């Protein structure tokens, strides 16, 4: 087994996913299959290969430090489930 049910639970918790016991079992099996397939990548010798930082062979895309901005708070907040005076309103956060 490449992944345990315990690990699936932990990853689900970190991703804020609520899984039923059936889903846990199903996903454990599926993830195990995916991870086994990923092992294919272990075959080539990468001893002398630098880790890949980016898939595209480009570097440095900059913008200049200039304010380019149209106030649009109202539109941006339009999809918020709850708001108050142009704040997002969320369930109380306890530290």
Partner 1 sequence: MAFEPVIGLEVHAQLLTESKIFCGCSTRFGEAPNHNTCPVCMGFPGVLPVLNKKVVEFAIRAGLATHCEIARYSQWARKNYFYPDLPKGYQISQYELPLCRNGFIEIETGGAKKKIRLTRIHMEEDAGKNIHEARGDFSLVDLNRTGVPLVEIVSEPDMRSAEEASAYLKSLRAILQYLEVCDGNMEEGSFRCDANVSVRPAGSSEFGTKVEIKNMNSFKAVEKAIAHEIERQIATLSEGGKLVQETRLWDAEREVTRSMRSKEAAHDYRYFPDPDLLPLVVDDKWIGEIQASLPELPEARKARFIAEYNLPPYDAELLTSRRDVADYFERAVKTHANPKALSNWVMGDLFRVIKERRLDNALRIADWPVPPEYLAAMVKMIDEGKISGKIAKNVFEQMLERSEPPEKIVRDQGLEQVSDVSGIEKAIAEVLTANAQQAADYRAGNEKIFGFLVGQVMKATRGKANPQVVNEVLKKKLETT
Q: How far is C-alpha 60 from the geometric centre of its chain's CA atoms?
A: 24
Closer residue to partner 1 (CB): 30 or 86: 86
Q: How far is C-alpha 73 from the geometric centre of its chain's CA atoms?
A: 26
Q: Between helices 21-38 and 5-14, what is the axis angle to 10°?
A: 100
Token output for 45 = 């010798």
Q: Per-residue x/- marks for partner 1, 26-55, CB under 8 A?
A: ---------------------------xxx
58 makes contact with partner 1 (CB under 8 A): yes
Nearest to 42 by CA among 8, 2, 11: 2
Count the residues of the shown chain that bind partner 1, applying the rule CB under 8 A.
39
18 makes contact with partner 1 (CB under 8 A): no
Point out which span in 18-26, 35-43, 63-71 binds partner 1 (CB under 8 A): 63-71
């Amino acid at each position: 087994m490449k992944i345990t049910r315990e690990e699936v639970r932990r990853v689900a918790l970190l991703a804020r996913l609520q899984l039923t016991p059936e889903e846990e079992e199903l996903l454990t099996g599926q993830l195990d299959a995916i991870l086994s397939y990923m092992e294919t990548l272990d075959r080539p010798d990468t001893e002398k290969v630098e880790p890949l930082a980016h898939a595209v062979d480009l570097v440095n895309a900059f913008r200049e430090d200039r304010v380019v901005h149209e106030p649009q708070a109202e539109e941006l907040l339009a999809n918020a489930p709850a708001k108050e005076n142009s704040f997002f309103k969320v369930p109380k956060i306890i530290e």
